Each structure stands twice: as structure tokens, then as C-alpha cells.
Chains A and B, each alone.
Chain A
């Protein structure tokens, strides 16, 4: 029972979105995680809470605010229009912005935990071995928190694949542009096409299981005896 062309299109789009989101979050989330892991600022609490908000907020709430902010009358919408980019809602990049915000805690928290677990000592040792702060970050902090990065990457990717509410709010349902797999399944169910829904749902189920299996089986090299 092969997948239909629209299904494949939706799956490819989903994977694209998840990949782009994960890559962007590696770049955006890492500095935030580093700051949160090392700062003694009184802003640590508030910033940490803001980063964690998507964990508890209904996706529709996040999607609603994004729609307003990115829309023609919102500040970001005004900015993107002024810059000649146009409006982001109901485009692929609109979905990316939403996914990045929505999956932010899934990137930041495992990486932050990994950074905190290193402690100060290896970084101090590196400093006494002539390594500058940036050098220490790339040659000691990053390699030692690699397990955290792998966890964060897998969780972010999988979480973006499983996204539904935010996508529906700011992406709508445009085939090939914003109609991801989860939305496609929703469409099938709305249209009472349960057979089609079953097929795509099974694909996502197997995919999610495999991802989590990989996550729970993986161990970094140097923690092995």
C-alpha cells in the first residue's frame, strides 16, 4: 500500500521543516543554553522561564500570538514588509519561525544540563593550558556536552515533526508549502478517509518510535569503559 503523492509531499515538507528548525536551533539555542548554564545574573530565572514557556503553553496560544505579531499589523510583520520580505504567515519560513520558538526548550534544556554537568574544572584546566575562553568552549565544553547536543537535536527534530497546533495557526494548510504530515492526517480524518489517515499515522508512529529508540540506546564513546 504505497503512500500517495500528497502524502509524500507532506512527509518531505515535514522533514525539511524539522531539519531547518533543528539547524537554526543549534545556532540559536546553544548560546542561550551556555549563558543560562554559567550566569549568576538575576535574569537567569525570568529568561529560563520564557524559554520553557512553549512546554506548557497551548500551541494555539503561541500560534495566535505569532499570527498577530507576524501579520500585516504586527511589529514583525511591519518589519518584514519594510525589508521587502513580505509577510511570513502561511509561508514555509513562517512555519520555521513558529517551530523554532515552539521547540526552543527541547534544544536549550538538554544542552544547558549538559553544560552544567561539565562543571568548572575542565574549563579551568583548559585555561591553565593556555586556551582562551572561545577555544575552551569549542575544544572542551562542546565535545564534553556532545551527548546533550545529540539528545537535544533528536528531541527538537522529533518534536518539530510532531507539531500540529502552531503549524495550523500560522501555516494553514497549503499543499507543498505548509501542509505537513500531521495536518495531512487531520485533513484525512476531517474527510472521513480513515484508511489514508491510518497509513500516514502508522508512518509517523514508526518514525517516532525509531527516533526515541535511537535516543535511548545511544551512548557517547568516552563514557564507555
Chain B
């Protein structure tokens, strides 16, 4: 019986490093493997790709066994696409030849023929990553961002059934990151194949992930839908200073006069700066805990646009002893607020209590 998703039970033992993971990862959407460097996230990805020969365990993809005690499917026979941290383009080939390298071989092997699976033609990959004008160039003459876009297109051109991305933005500066992120978001909306995305950058995870796997010291600390993990108060690793949640909604209304958009998330509405998105577009919103304040009454005479009723779910400690993280329910979605312990006590916050939250900043991702 073919179970959708990735089943990975992997054990790697090196001097000074051990990876011990037994996880089932979803067969759809973007799953972020998040953790500090040395947490084993890249090693796990390499095991799934078949690039770590020393690993013991089992890897199954949609019920297909790629590795177990008696099976080892070599990397070139696994239906994957892999994006390396440095684009790793072949320097002796032009951009087009780099793209064709994998595409030719996957066609020759009869992979990529099944129209039912998400199929990427070369043209589609070139168009999606916006690299049509680079095809005749050599990798050495490309910028870092361009190289990485070619690397991503090259991985897509093999029509993978699983896309593995190893910190594709980590080697780039902020400007290059901003250049590539929109392409990755398009991928997210366009791809019908599961993506495993290794990252240690909270902003990338917030923008791209649907599912989050938090790793530390070779083990999985938590795994689940993005918001469920982000709003957990007990997790030793939050997305750094940026504790907060991510909500998915749709653009419901445009206020031309004030250049604002109303985004409907669940049954609540939030006003955000107009990003040019069209009405009905999918919109992802990030609300950081530090931007949320709590009050007994809906305040008037304030500059804050978004004030919503909420119910306190639980209270926890933040990194600093003065601070407390409050988990609230806003129309069915969890939202985190960072307040001082003193304020929490003065307000008498307790689970079940109804309060009003003011959101100082809402970022449309």
C-alpha cells in the first residue's frame, strides 16, 4: 500500500556528530527543516537524496523504498531534484547546457513521462525563474543570485517528484535573497510536488513553509503544521528573536485612498499596506509577538489599525526573565503576544479570559 509522504528513519554516527531521526514528512507543500548549523538538517536531506552512504536506516517515498537493510537506490535513480547551497553549476557548460544536462537524462530514463505528476518542462522552469536571457552565458559570468536561479531551474527541469533544497539562499547577501524569494514563492504556489527546504533563516521559513520540522543536535524537536509549531510556547527553539505566527488568508478589499488592503484570515480581518496584490489573491501574513499588545477594552484614540478580540489560551516564559509570551486565539487562529510579566499580572491574564489585542505591525509576506 503506497502511503503518500516521505518516511525517513535515519541514523548517522560520525565522530562528534550523530543524527537520529524517525519522521514522516508530508507528501505535499513545503516542509522546512529548521535548525542551527550542526543540527543535522542538511545531513538528513542528503540521506534522503542518497548522497550519504554511511547512513543506516530506511527511506521511503510515497511507498517506494529508496533505502532499507537490503535496498539502496543510488542517487541518480531517485526521482528527486536537488538545489545545493552554492548553485554548483557545471563551469564547463553554458546555462542552457546546464539546464539540459538533467532534463535529457531524465527523459532518456523514462522518468518525467507521467503527465499526472507535476511536470516541469524546461521552458516552464526557465520562465518561472526568469532566466531566459542568461541561456548562452557561462556560470562564471553570472551573479550569485542568477546562478542560484539557474540551479533551481536545473533541478526542476528533471521533473522531480520531490524537490530537495539545501539552504538555497544562505550563500547570498540580503539583496540577492530578496531577488530570489519571490521566485521561491511562485514555486510554492505553482508546484504540485513536495519540497523539503533546509534553512536556518526564520524569515524564509515564515514566507515559504507549510510544515515545520525543528531540529537540534541531530534530533527532531518538533514537527507539524507551521502555525501550530510557531505558536508553541514550550519549544526551546523559536524563530529566534522573531517569535510570532504566520496566517494564511485572502485579499478581500482594497482601500485606494489609504493604500491599504484588507486581508481576511479565518473570520478576522486585518489591514495591511497595499502590496499590489489582486483581490482574491492568496496572502500570507506574519504577526510578530513583539508587535502585539493586550488590553481589556478596545482602545479608541490610537494610531493602531488592527484591533481584534481574542481569548487567552496559555502563558509562557520568553527568553528574557522580564518577558512573557501569551498565546491567544483569534477567530480560530493562534497568535502570540509578548508582554512583560508585570503587565500580564496587572491585566490579570489567565487562560480563558477574553481580551483585545492591538497589532502594531502586520507584515504581508
Return 12 A-B CB contacts under 8 Å, by A number: A121-B86, A128-B49, A128-B80, A129-B105, A130-B76, A130-B77, A130-B109, A132-B76, A143-B90, A144-B91, A222-B92, A223-B91
The verdict on B343 contacting chain A, using a C-beta distance below 8 Å, is no
Known: A222-B91, A222-B140, A225-B141. A131 touches B82 (CB 8 A): no
Listed in ascending order, the chain B residues whose CB lies under 8 Å from chain A are 49-51, 74-77, 80-82, 84, 86, 88-92, 101-102, 105-106, 109, 111, 138, 140-141, 154-155, 158, 164
| A125 CA to B49 CA, complexed, in Å | 11
| A140 CA to B105 CA, complexed, in Å | 14
The verdict on A205 contacting chain B, using a C-beta distance below 8 Å, is no
The verdict on A122 contacting chain B, using a C-beta distance below 8 Å, is yes
Known: A222-B138, A222-B140. A129 touches B101 (CB 8 A): yes
Is the pair B75, A140 in contact by a Cβ cutoff of 8 Å? no
Which of A128, A139, A140, A144 interacts with B82 by CB under 8 Å? Answer: A128
Contacts of B106 in A (CB 8 A): 129-130
Contacts of B77 in A (CB 8 A): 130
Nearest CB in chain B: distance from A225 CB, A: 6
The verdict on A193 contacting chain B, using a C-beta distance below 8 Å, is no
Known: A135-B105, A225-B141. A129 touches B158 (CB 8 A): yes
Listed in ascending order, the chain A residues whose CB lies under 8 Å from chain B are 121-122, 124-132, 135, 139-140, 143-144, 146, 221-223, 225
Is the pair B141, A140 in contact by a Cβ cutoff of 8 Å? no
Known: A121-B88, A140-B90. A126 touches B81 (CB 8 A): no
Sample of 5 further A-B pairs with CB below 8 A, known A124-B75, A124-B84, A128-B75: A128-B49, A128-B82, A130-B109, A223-B140, A225-B141
Output the nearest chain B residue to A142 by Cβ-Cβ distance.
B92
Contacts of B141 in A (CB 8 A): 225
Which of B50, B92, B138, B154 interacts with A129 by CB under 8 Å? Answer: B154
| A139 CA to B106 CA, complexed, in Å | 15
Known: A130-B106, A130-B109, A222-B138. A125 touches B90 (CB 8 A): yes
Is the pair B158, A130 in contact by a Cβ cutoff of 8 Å? yes
Contacts of B92 in A (CB 8 A): 143-144, 146, 221-222
| A39 CA to B189 CA, complexed, in Å | 44
Contacts of A139 in B (CB 8 A): 101
Contacts of B140 in A (CB 8 A): 222-223, 225
Known: A222-B138, A222-B140, A225-B140. A127 touches B75 (CB 8 A): yes
Is the pair A127, B102 in contact by a Cβ cutoff of 8 Å? no
| A75 CA to B145 CA, complexed, in Å | 62
Nearest CB in chain A: distance from B324 CB, A: 46
Contacts of A126 in B (CB 8 A): 76, 90, 101
| A129 CA to B81 CA, complexed, in Å | 7
Which of B51, B105, B138, B164 interacts with A131 by CB under 8 Å? Answer: B105
Which of A121, A146, A225 interacts with B84 by CB under 8 Å? Answer: A121
Output the nearest chain A residue to B103 by Cβ-Cβ distance.
A129
Is the pair A125, B82 in contact by a Cβ cutoff of 8 Å? yes
